[in-house]
Structure 1
Amino acid sequence: MVFLLEPVTEIGGLLLKPVLSGPSQAYVRSEVQFDCAVPGWSSPLTYELWKDAGDLIAAENNIKVTFTLQVTEESEGEYYCRLTTGGQTSNSILFHAVIPVVGARLSSDPDPAIVNEGQKLVLRCLVRKGTHLSFTWYHNTQLVKSSSELHQISGDTLTVYRATETHAGIYSCTAQNQMTVNPRFSSSQDLHFIVKKHISAPSLSFTVFSNGSSLTANISCRSERGSPPVTFRLMLDGLELDVKRVDSLESWFVLPVSVGLDLGAARCKAQTDTQQLISDPVHLLVVPVGGAVRVTVTYLYDVDGMVAAARLKCVPDRGTFPTFSWSLNRSSLPAEGDAHAVTHHGQILILTEVSAGFYRCRARDSFNHSSVWVESEDIFIQKTDLAATPVEVIALVFCGFLSIVIVLGSFFMFWSTKRRNNTCKHHSNQDVIQSEMITIDVPVSDVSSEPQPVEMKTVIMEFKA
């Protein structure tokens, strides 16, 4: 590399100013050469190579001299040459002794790299050796840009200020020597970053099963979202009954119960390192199936207004854990068939093809197979009775309503016109009487008694089911 000459001093009537050329960087343990000469000078001169404030490296005599150096870590510094005669000094070269990069690895704060949503994470790309480095970051094998809404990068540090699920994943870094020729790289191993999601408020539910002569409640405490582990606590009327720490979002508790006995309000607490949430109360009360059983029917129509399906629901007056059974014309219906399906633990019967007949449901306690079935009344379902409903009836009702509006509107307009004419005549007669009394001729306005024509429009709207 050749640099421009600086102003020189005069020696023997000639301007002699040496010029130093050479590399600005090289790897440690490599060999470099610096050349020193006076441009346009053809006689041998003695040149000295100096480093920094005054370390003489070498001296040679020639028209142009070349200084060869073995690069070590101590070779880094500012180099220049000068003539022994007259002491003229050359330009300087700032030389960097670059240590090849090796041993890149990732460190995290906190360690291990596990944080809750909203917390901070700092990753650093460390190397065992290496100088004059630049760093490249990867998240799930994708290049991380120098600055984004997700990450902030400064040198060997990547910072996540408020962690979300998006930040979770695999991180790695690559360190590179900043060399224009033959750059060297070192890549870290992958680091798995985990962002623990906040848990949602827990919900409590329970089922019962028979254990010989007694009943046991199987109580579920569950959060729909979040990251385990979670500590669940079962509370009954404010008193803690049991505690479980699980690596999932649900925990189960058992408690003896009796039919008709209200044990109290049960709640579930879910706790993590940063959260503590509690469920709504649920009364631990098992009510037996009883009272009347009703069947509600909902018809489903296609675009042509025809009955496409029917939804029958079995509703007992009371019962915490009922089981259901359906029949058609006194014959039991299986849970699945070609033209029907049973859902919601048997409570709802879907008829995909409506067959005419008498439908009935019955219910009893699911935990007691010896309990008595409570039956509904028969309900008659017939497809033809339901098909002629929507568009025609709606159109007829609307047209009838529109006709009534037109008739009433016409009558009101006629009545208003007639009343206005009578009023005008009455005022006109009064004006004539007054004009005759004071013998002043005042013209009386001519008020027409003919009704004014009223324009009306009939609008017919078509509704589609």
Structure 2
Amino acid sequence: MIAEYSSLSGEIAAFPLFIKSRNDGRLVCKASRHNNTDIQSSLSQGLDLKVIVPVEDVTIAPHPASETVWEGQTLSLQCRESRGTYVSYEWLRNERPYDTTGDTLIIHRLSVQHTGNYTCVASNRFNDTMTFSCSDVISVQVKEYVSKPEISLEVVKLGDAGFRAIVTCRSLKGSPLITFSLLNDTDVITKNTTEGTSAIFHVPVELNRVTGRVRCNASNEGNWVLSEPVNLTGDLSATPMEVIALVFCGFLLMVIVGASCFLFWSTKRRNNSWKHGINHEIQSDAMPRMNFPADVSFKPQTVEMKTFIVNFAD
């Protein structure tokens, strides 16, 4: 019972109330005869009373409590207000509406795409008056587990100091810090913790001698993965790029030699042709030249021989 009123002359009962949030709900008026139980009491129709309390002091309660979570986990964000009734909720991620309703945001199987700044906006309305309250921004950082690393090695000569294998361990993804370890069977040869997704190790080797199989181990936040094994050997065999470079150099050398031979042959032939032309001109200039009249015939002619005797007087 909220209040009671006694009417002696049949006047309408009026109940002055100081409304509080606990008064929210259905109100019913009950009328009964005072001190007379023979008359049955009667009840009025119900009246739904909405007590609107402006929303205030909105906060977000995350679970897990840490703002840093790992991919695959489930994240729960609950919007809480210190006071307020008939509250509506809107979630924002990076200041853009997030497709969800209600006071609790649940994200299953987190991924890096869920990284961002989350805000809860709580509001309620009284007639034409809208009341808003925004929570502080909560930053969610979703970290990635390191992926299976790939291992590669290259052998280099160190002058007179022998040979060294440069071993590279590389993962495609992973949030720092990542610890890379170089393993020989089950023993750790060396390790390196880095903020990147790769690490380089230098290991002494002997030429053309297999010293064992090695693997890369990558780990972060309790997660660890192994690479495929490779033989650690001082093999100076060329890499694919080196093979291509050697083939190209050989082809280029063949082109240079062929061009040189062709140029030599062409020059020699040109010189021989020049010398033959000079000799021909010299022979032509050395022969006597005879000029004959145009009417002279070179056909055979009959020549008559006559003898003349000449006497000279004393």
* Range into which the TM-score falls when normalised by the shorter chain: 0.5 to 0.7
User: Are the aligned partners of 1:122 and 1:159 in contact in 2 as well (CA < 8 Å)?
Assistant: yes
- Alignment of structure 1 residues 8-47 onto 2, 5 Å: none
Say which SS state the counterpart of residue 129 (structure 2) adopts: coil
When Rg is computed on C-alpha atoms for both structures, the one with the higher figure is: 2
Cα 1:256/1:91, change in 2 over 3 Å? same
SS in 1 for 2:113: helix
Cα shift readout 1:352-390 (whole Å, capped 9, x = no counterpart): xxxxxxx745xxxxxxxxxxxxxx8932389xxxxxxxx
| Structure 1, unaligned runs of 5 or more | 1-52, 147-152, 289-317, 323-343, 351-358, 362-375, 383-465
The answer to which structure, 1 or 2, has the higher relative contact order (CA under 8 A, 6+ apart) is: 2
Paired AA for residue 265 in structure 1: R
Q: What CA distance in whole angstroms lies between the structure 1 residues aligned with 2:86 and 2:158? A: 75
In the TM superposition, residue 143 of structure 1 has moved relative to its aligned partner by 1.7
Query: Deviation of residue 236 (structure 1)?
Result: 1.7
Partner of 1:37: none
Greater percentage in helix = 2
Query: For 1:273-310, what per-residue CA distance to the aligned partner results, in whole angstroms no more than 9, with x for missing partners?
Result: 4643211222222334xxxxxxxxxxxxxxxxxxxxxx
* Alignment match of 1:135 (pick from 78, 85, 89): 89
Question: What stretches of structure 2 of length at least 5 have no aligned partner?
Answer: 35-40, 259-314
One of 244, 254, 273 as aligned partner of 1:379? 254
* 2:192 corresponds to: 244
- Structure 1 125/54 Cα, relative in aligned 2: closer, same or farther at 3 Å? closer
Alpha-carbon contact 1:221-1:252 (below 8 Å) kept: yes
CA contact (8 A) 2:4 2:15 kept: no
Whole-angstrom CA distance in 2 between matches of 1:127 and 1:183: 16
DSSP 3-state at the match of 1:380:
helix
Letter of the structure 1 residue corresponding to residue 103 of structure 2: D
Provide Cα deviations, 1:112-168, integer angstroms capped at 9, x if missing partner.
23333322111111222223222111223222234xxxxxx5x31111122233333
1:99 aligns with 2:47: no
Determine the structure 2 residue equivalent to 1:185. 132
The answer to whether the Cα contact below 8 Å between 1:77 and 1:95 also exists between their aligned partners in 2 is: yes
Matching residue of 1:233: 181
Instruction: Please list, as runs of the form range in 1=range in 2, the aligned pairs for 1:88-127 lying within 5 A after superposition.
Output: 90-127=44-81
**Contact 1:100 1:131 survives alignment (8 Å):** yes
C-alpha displacement of 1:180:
4.0
Does 1:160 find its partner at 2:114? Answer: no
Q: Secondary structure at the match of 1:268?
A: strand
Q: Which moved more, 1:74-83 or 1:232-241?
A: 74-83
Q: Secondary structure at the match of 1:104?
A: strand
Q: Which residue of 1 aligns with 2:216?
A: 268
**SS of residue matched to 1:269:** strand
| Shift in alpha-carbon separation, 1:83–1:129, aligned structure 2, 3 A | closer
Closer, same or farther in 2 for the Cα pair 1:272/1:60, shift >3 Å?
Answer: farther
Amino acid of the structure 1 residue aligned with 2:46: S
- What percent identity do the matched residue pairs reach? 26
CA contact (8 A) 1:234 1:267 kept: yes
Matched residue of 1:213: which SS? coil
Distance in 2, matches of 1:200 and 1:57, equals 76
Counterpart residue type for residue 123 of structure 2? Q
Normalised TM-score (structure 2): 0.64
After superposition, residues 73-88 of structure 1 pair within 5 angstroms as 73-80=21-28
TM value normalised by structure 1: 0.45
Q: CA offset at residue 319 of structure 1?
A: 4.0
Question: C-alpha distance in 2, partners of 1:209/1:71?
Answer: 90
Q: Kindly indicate whether residue 172 of structure 2 is the aligned counterpart of residue 224 of structure 1.
A: yes
Contact 1:209 1:217 in 2 (8 A): no
The residue aligned with 2:202 is 254
Alignment root-mean-square deviation, CA: 3.9
Q: What is the alpha-carbon distance in structure 2 between the residues aligned to residue 113 and residue 250 of structure 1?
A: 26
Contact in 1 for aligned 2:3/2:15 (Cα 8 Å): no
Query: What SS does the corresponding residue of 1:379 show, helix, strand or coil?
Result: helix
Kept after mapping to 1: 8 A contact 2:5/2:14: no
CA shift, 1:242, in A, is: 2.1
Alpha-carbon contact 2:163-2:234 (below 8 Å) kept: no
Note closer, same or farther for the CA distance 1:158–1:57 as it changes in structure 2 (3 Å cut): farther
* Cα distance in 2 for residues equivalent to 1:271 and 1:185: 46
Task: State how far apart, in whole Å, the 2-side matches of 1:142 and 1:106 are.
Answer: 17
The aligned amino acid for 2:70 is N
* Cα distance in 2 for residues equivalent to 1:140 and 1:67: 50
Distance 1:126 1:249 in 2: 40
Query: What is the letter of the counterpart of residue 51 of structure 2?
Result: A
Within 2, Cα distance between the matches of 1:185 and 1:57? 39
Equivalent pairs, count: 251
Q: Which amino acid aligns with 2:71?
A: E
Secondary structure of 2:57's match? coil
What are the within-5 Å matches in structure 2 for residues 352-367 of structure 1?
360-361=249-250
